[in-house]
A and B are shown apart, each in its own frame.
Chain A
């Protein structure tokens, strides 16, 4: 043992061999199938978001008087500001897409069933956090659509029975959008939600380590084959990650994030659209009156949350063992239909 490692061993008596054993869990071979990596993709993107987000926060100023100008500064003047901002934006888009795809793979492989019900619920919380962080981030730019998105979002919260007005006041720091609103969105976006997500991810991954990954469709032989987490799986992830960075960089260069018109609280733009992943919600809002739309979407989220137990009951008390597949297909088709509908019309 060298002098340095002896010196460290004397003070921190950690056994390197044991440490390797702890972290070096064998990974089942079927994780080499790409669709089982969809959970690792949002995790990698999350790291990109933390890095680029911290960079953006060096210049961003959360107040209605300065927010738009500071983002314009990042985009037009700060060296490589356009690149970091565009990476943050594209990685956010990819992250939402990856989380949705990951959830679909978990759903359609039945991986949420016993004993993984609780991890599905943790996953649902991660989905909600991901969408909320997307929403608050979009509001920070203080473009027209940022402003109106935030106002409409707060008013949606207000139409929730009983607690609505309280939630709206907490969101906006007042009855309507004011000078104290943007700092709230910023703190949510850059501090509270990331911390909550790190905690949730930790629980999520701990549960995966305890329960193991499901082995959907794997043959007996395949089940026995494993490979090492370290270095094999880690290297794979790092290489995949670099490819992802290259794709994101290409997108950031070809389609960089731009600046829309500055927020004007007195004029709602003639065509108003949220980010693509809220198109479903937005179309839903046009179809029903406020309260009906809010209560029904709350109910749908609630059902998704408790789905492992609902599915369990269906399988126990009816003969429709694979009902979840058909319900899932219908759900996905409905989501695609509403999204395409919203995307294809102005109003």
Chain B
């Protein structure tokens, strides 16, 4: 600092001093860019490492042969994850519009809904969401947001119905079939869907 002042004192013409100031700023900037870039790269590597590697894999699975699937009936389909999916045939036609595959995952915040036969509705215990048999929300936060139970993609090929679901298995699928006990667990509620299996 003092050195610089001395020099400026000796040369009243500020030319070289200005240039030195400029060069100083440029090299300072270059240094900061280098440092930010370098350490930033480490940060980016760490962030990318923590972000899940790939989306959860999905695959197509067989559901039913169309001519054995009665109009108005439902199949309680089990995905590899153990998730229950209610597949219904709505119409006599053989187009996708005649089928629906309702997820049992509440569109609000992801709890599992169950069918309440007495009230003829799917009920979500987390925040009191309710849905009619077609999956349209009729009460609670999902109704307020105009949501519905999501559906899974279906396809029909040569008279056979297929569904696309995640293939990942969860650790406790085997356990899920034991009747759970303890507070908050009602074995009767284990009947999830109005199943009229074919």
Contact = CB atoms under 8 A, between A and B. Distances in A.
B118 interface: no
Interface in B156-189: 168, 170-173, 175-176, 180-186, 189
A155 B110 contact: yes
Given A269-B185, A286-B140, A288-B141, A152 B109 contact: yes
A266 B128 contact: no
Contact of A267 (B81, B124, B128, B180): B180
B55 A175 contact: yes
A151 B184 contact: no
A169 interface: yes
Interface string B25-68: 00000000000000000000000001110011000000000000
A328 B109 CA distance: 31
Contact of A151 (B51, B110, B113): B110
B128 A173 contact: no
Nearest to B105: A176
Contact of A268 (B52, B83, B111): B111
A75 to B, nearest CB: 15
Contacts of A61: none
B150 interface: no
A282 B108 CA distance: 13
With most chain B CB atoms within 10 A of its CB, the pick from A156, A169, A290 is A290
Interface of B is mostly: loop
Contacts of A159: 109
A306 interface: no
A261 B111 contact: no
A188 B174 CA distance: 29
Interface in B76-135: 81-84, 108-114, 124-128
12 contacts: A152-B110, A156-B109, A170-B50, A175-B55, A260-B182, A263-B172, A266-B173, A267-B190, A269-B125, A271-B125, A282-B127, A291-B145
Interface of A: 63-65, 144-145, 148, 151-152, 154-156, 159, 166, 169-170, 173-180, 260-272, 282, 285-286, 288-293, 347
Interface of B: 50-52, 55-56, 81-84, 108-114, 124-128, 140-142, 144-145, 168, 170-173, 175-176, 180-186, 189-190
